[in-house]
Structure 1
Amino acid sequence: MPHDALRRPMRPLPTLLILAVTAAFGGFAATAIRDALTQPAAAEPAPAQATVPMTAQLPATVAGQPVPSLAPMLQRVMPAVVSVNTKQRVRVRTPFDNDPMFRRMLGIPEERINESLGSGVIVDAQRGYVLTNHHVVEGATEVSVMLADGRTLQAEFLGSDPDTDVALMRIPAQNLSAIPLADSDALRVGDFVVAIGNPFGVGQTVTSGIVSAVGRNNLPGAGFQNFIQTDASINPGNSGGALVDLNGRLVGINTASFNPRGSMAGNIGLGFAIPSDLASNIMQQLLANDGQVRRGTIGADTQDIDARRARALGLDSSSGALVTRVYPGSSAANAGLRANDVIVAANGQRIASAEDFRNFQGLQAANARLTLDVRRDGKPLQLTAGLQELPRDGASLDPRLAGVTFGELPETLRRQGASGVQVSTVANDSRAERAGLRSGDVILEATTGRFNDLASFRASFRQPPQQLAFRIWRDGGRIGTLAIP
């Protein structure tokens, strides 16, 4: 890419949210609601002469059989579902930020404390491990957990993965209860499930429903996705709570409800949970990798197929991910994958689009083996490839980037239309730091060329440029071109 291409006007990234994504995303400050619900209800005393009961009583048996109840199962399970309270220090920004005297005169504090509520699930009573959502604890400076018996414990943050919205905490392991994990892959549409959490901060609450769908992966505003959909009510504050089967086993971590009218419009039966198998896998990776999740790639670029291209490739439909580039030395190249191949399935799972294939890779372990069903010149072919974790250090790319590490963009940004790589860390007093590069910056383009992800970013440095400059996107705004001498 010519250096002057960096001067082109920058197009804004598309805005997120085709639907209003509501929550269960984030905690919910429920003080006002809680106060309102705890006010005693005014009631007229019953007339003294009334002898007929005002409410009907359920029969103890029906046709000689006891009426089924979830109570015994819930009695075992509910002690393992906790309320999560987070505190976050937020700087109070005003026009007087640079004038401390005015701040003091007007009584404007430097910062305030934001509090929010969510839920969590104890999955290991011996070690005190608690699973919750990343968005429940994101940015928190203090996290406390309230158990069902009223005890409040300080939680230790062990790590999280924003792209699957899973976070892991630890609390002091004293007389805890845990929920056993089920095989969430065995869930079927129509299975009964129960959601447990702390909606609106009113206290531990149970709702029930069925599994409406499995394998949902086309929701706006989320990262890598393989959601369980349920019609059990999931409301603000339910985030991180438990979705259990009728045997009291954990099948999912409640994470979101979708409502086009916003979170206060009420439940409309569209709740989503992270499968327990995925949550457990992420937890093991967080424990093994110092609180981080590592992902691999096969080293190939893909794109969607339109009807015209499908006909040219001899395909019956436009379903699949079209390979547009295979990087030399990559796992894809070693497996024999070629440009113009069409990936239609991976490990037996149908791949309908390039996003499907990216989502599939993102949910695998960094060194996972993939069996790819491919169409080449209209004929079926099966290839085997292993994912590879790419080096992330800048020094291996260019000496000017020593002290910098890079990572893939959060999948939520990609779903907004962004492409490129994210700066993970920048060492103090490095050349990049002195030039103005910061942790969290998104590099959209460089004098090395265009790129979509970490694999293509690294490939663009095969011929190091004489002048190194980046187009940067920072904190939702754009700062233009940044040159590193």
Structure 2
Amino acid sequence: MRYAYAITAALLAGGGAATFTMQQPSSAQVAQNAGSQSHGPLGGPASFADLTARLSPAVVNISTTQRIKVQQQQNPFAGTPFDDLFRQFNGGGGDDDDNGGGNSGSSNGKPQTREAMSLGSGFIISADGYVVTNNHVIAGDPNSPQSKGATLESVTVTLPDRTEYKAKVVGRDQAADLAVLKIDAPKPLPFVQFGDSTKTRVGDWVIAIGNPFALGGTVTAGIVSAIHRSIGSGPYDRYIQTDAAINSGNSGGPMFDMAGNVVGINSAIYSPSGGNVGIGFAIPAEEAKPVVDILMKGGRVKRGYLGVSIQQIDDEMASALGLPKNHGEIVGRVEPGYAAAKAGIQSGDVIVRVNNQDVTPDNSLSYIVANLPIGSKVPVELYRRGQKITVTAIVGERPPEDQLAGQLGNGNDSDNDGTPDSGAAAQQSKAASSALGLGLQALTPRIAQQLGLSASIRGVVIASVDSSSDAGSNGLKRGDVILSINQQPVLTVAAAAQVIADAQKAGRDTVLLQVQRGTQQAVYIGVKLQKK
């Protein structure tokens, strides 16, 4: 498993797309960017000052107060002279609740509630005070353990003139990482409008306005570095990449084109250190606006869903499967009772086309399905063990994100008697282990228990790894369980060896492994075979 630099900001992205239309707000007020031409002037701008002066009044700072439950550290000095000192350094009180019973009070080792604050940016989209920002600005990073126990207490919106308003959360969508707030001001507010980001091209000038590091209104400029960028942050990755400086606190702020249109919402950075390195990401207006329109009306965003966990196919996996590069995604797990299961889609299938749309890195399966009408019948083209077949699926509705988070698979349910290999099979097993660079052994119930695996897991366990092998380079390690090789379940070491031998006879230099690590969801990894 290859790893890249970590994304250092909260990163749920994308969202369902819809037909894009430009609409004037119902208010009689005129937008700060109203009447802007669809294309800015050719060549580099002499200055961004006039554009900034016109747009900045609609960009706001957002701060939140949250209550977070944290586990207090157990007091190792309870009942000793060091009790009070420990509690002073860990936020404990002076008097014990048990009237001198020798404990360090009711907080010792028990969950405590603390106040936390977050800062971000946003922008006003109507004269009557609707504000757009990222969901993670008001809810925290959904992948953070602290955010899972957080309760939002209040949201404050600060205008450029330092006027503060308490904001109401009108709607939020975790999958799209978008939220809509509402503030009540005594007079009409300056606002900006979404532009048509489908016309945005690589190389176009853009400016970002936001609240980095709580410094207040800050303007940076750059160009569009890429479009439709996937960064592995969520099922709907389709970012605009820019080299305009984006830092912590810029989240939720607008990205403008040279005509003053909002073409993106700054959401994430790619950085080894947490600071700006010239790689920032914004949710395109074409994705954001339909979601915002629904949230403003108090609605809930509905997306299509098949009920599969999927994985992109890298070069090694494509080679192992005999498929073209950058085409299709492999099914890791099929959720029982959902559309894919009803259509007969299986784990290990490679889905290459849905509703006559190719599945590619720039047009993922999740993105295609999310935008299909719920209840529609669509053809799904896939490869299964080298054979191309087409099934028909009825698109379902995607469940809430918190429900999906609990739907993790436990592997296949085949039987495994754990019988050790012997004789000729042992020789074949040795050859297979040498080719893979892995030492394999049967997954017995005792080993499964030691590894903390579900009793339903069936496969062979990795006993050793040759660090110089491709398997070692891919991050495989002792204790990982191989569920299948080249989409064939391997219940014994002999079965694994036979699949490897068959691949070598067919002239294949790469095999596809389905690997389970602990309680994590199984993944597919392409591994090059070592030559004899």
Q: Which moved more, 1:155-164 or 1:319-328?
A: 319-328
Three-state SS of the structure 1 residue aligned to 2:396 is coil
* Per-residue Cα deviation, 1:310-348 (whole angstroms, up to 9, x for no partner): 33xxx4557313568988996568989899875334567
1:95 aligns with 2:74: yes
2:276 equivalent to 1:271: no
Amino acid at match of 1:180: Q
TM-score normalised by structure 1 residue count: 0.58
Q: For residue 234 of structure 1, give the secondary structure of its aligned residue in structure 2.
A: coil
Q: CA deviation at 1:21?
A: 2.5
Counterpart among 400, 409, 434 of residue 405 in structure 2:
409
- SS of the aligned residue for 2:321 comes to helix
1:257 to 269, 276, 280: 269
1:407 match: secondary structure: helix
* CA deviations over 1:160-213 (Å, ceiling 9, x no partner): 222322122111153212211111122111111110001111110110111101
Give the match's secondary structure for 2:374. coil
Aligned CA-pair RMSD: 4.7
* Distance verdict in 2 for CA 1:157–1:19, change over 3 Å: same
The offset of 1:276, in angstroms, is 1.4
CA 1:360–1:304 in 2, change beyond 3 Å: closer, same or farther?
Answer: same
2:206 partner letter: V
What is the correspondence of 1:142-221 to structure 2 with a 5 Å cutoff? 142-173=154-185, 174-219=187-232, 221=233
Distance in 2, Cα, partners of 1:67 & 1:289: 40
Whichever residue aligns with residue 95 of structure 1, its letter is: Q
Match of residue 374 from structure 2:
367
Structure 2 gap segments, 5+ residues each: 13-42, 97-104, 140-149, 411-451, 459-517, 520-532
Maintained 8 Å contact 2:171/2:298? no
1:413-424 equivalent positions in 2, closer than 5 A: 419=409
Q: 1:206-253, CA deviations, whole angstroms, 9 ceiling, x for partnerless residues? A: 10111101111233x555311110000001111110101111111111
Q: Which runs of 5+ in 1 are unaligned?
A: 1-13, 27-64, 393-404, 421-443, 451-471, 474-485
Match of 1:75 in 2: 53
Structure-2 change in CA distance of 1:204 and 1:226 (3 Å): same
Query: How far is 1:118 from its partner?
Result: 0.7
Give 1:247's aligned residue.
Answer: 259
Which structure 2 residues correspond to residues 36-435 of structure 1 after superposition, within 5 A?
68-91=46-69, 93-95=72-74, 103-105=92-94, 111-126=113-128, 128-138=129-139, 139=150, 140-173=152-185, 174-219=187-232, 221-222=233-234, 224-260=236-272, 262-263=273-274, 266-287=275-296, 290=299, 292-299=300-307, 306-307=317-318, 310-311=321-322, 315-317=323-325, 319-322=327-330, 342-346=350-354, 350-352=358-360, 356-362=364-370, 364=371, 367=374, 374=381, 387-389=395-397, 407-409=403-405, 419=409
Instruction: Give the Cα–Cα distance (whole angstroms) in 1 for the partners of residues 50 and 326 of structure 2.
Output: 51
Q: CA separation of 1:172/1:244 partners in 2, compared to 1, >3 Å: closer, same or farther?
A: same
Aligned length: 349
Name the counterpart of 2:530. none
Which letter does structure 2 place at the counterpart of 1:80?
A
Q: TM-score, normalised by structure 2?
A: 0.54
**CA positional deviation for 1:294:** 3.3
Distance 1:337 1:354 in 2: 23
SS of corresponding position for 2:304: coil
Question: How many angstroms does 1:95 deviate by?
Answer: 2.9
Query: CA 1:288–1:385 in structure 2 vs 1: closer, same or farther (change >3 Å)?
Result: farther
Partner deviation per Cα, 1:18-46 (whole Å, 9 max, x = no partner): 423224879xxxxxxxxxxxxxxxxxxxx
Change (3 A) 1:366 1:88: farther
